Copies of this chain bind each other. A is one copy, B any other.
Amino acid sequence: MGKPYSVLVVDDHPLLRRGICQLITSDGDFTLFGEAGTGLDALTALSDNEPDIILLDLNMKGMSGLDTLNAMRQEGVTARIVILTVSDAKQDVIRLLRAGADGYLLKDTEPELLLEQLKKAMLGHRVISEEVEAYMYELKNATDDNQWIESLTPRELQILQELAEGKSNRVISEDLHISEGTVKVHVKNLLRKANAKSRTEMAVRYLNQ
């Protein structure tokens, strides 16, 4: 076999980072390229040379995992980027894979399985945890369930947020200093875009992202 794969571990939880790093170094096929506690630290670590694999957490303070991934691809980073997270939210999976992640693994993956998956990723496979694989067909069939949120104008989003706090049209109109009728127009348009039958249904869908 050739030389071991180098890995950069990016996670804002020191404890988990320690566990991952220990796992990496305990296997002869991998070496630790470095570790970073924030997305910015990770980008700095990549300024000189690159590892073979970047293990990236989502839900980090400051720069999110998605932002970090985008920034890395922008910088021309060619390393395999594998997401390692607790979130199995459909929205996250779809967004990250669309953004060019080479894998999406969950943090409750068994250590041995994780190493296997990383080796597979180096062979050019896209590695996905079983639990989230179900979302893959949605990635192909496109039209993300919450794609409608992206199509909203700033004003509509503002009104949706007020609505999703349980406020009535009248209260929203007073908050925003516009007529109740205008709020109703916005709500009408929101309902059409969300393809929802009532404001409550729309609020629920919005809150569940």
Q: Enumerate A80-113 residues with CB–CB distance to B below 8 Å.
A: 86, 107-111
Nearest-neighbour CB distance to chain B for A76, whole angstroms, equals: 30
Nearest-neighbour CB distance to chain B for A54, whole angstroms, equals: 16
> Do the beta carbons of B22 and A166 come within 8 Å of each other?
no
> Do the beta carbons of B205 and A207 come within 8 Å of each other?
no
Q: How many residues of A are in contact with the other chain, CB < 8 A?
A: 37
Chain B residues near A207: list those with CB within 8 A. Answer: 204, 207-208
Residues of A within 8 A of B (CB): 12-20, 22-23, 61, 86, 107-111, 114, 163-168, 196-205, 207-208
Chain B residues near A109: list those with CB within 8 A. Answer: 14-15
Instruction: Give the contacting residue for A14; candidates B110, B163, B208; CB below 8 A.
Output: B110
> Do the beta carbons of B15 and A114 come within 8 Å of each other?
yes
Instruction: Give the contacting residue for A166; candidates B23, B165, B202; CB below 8 A.
Output: B202
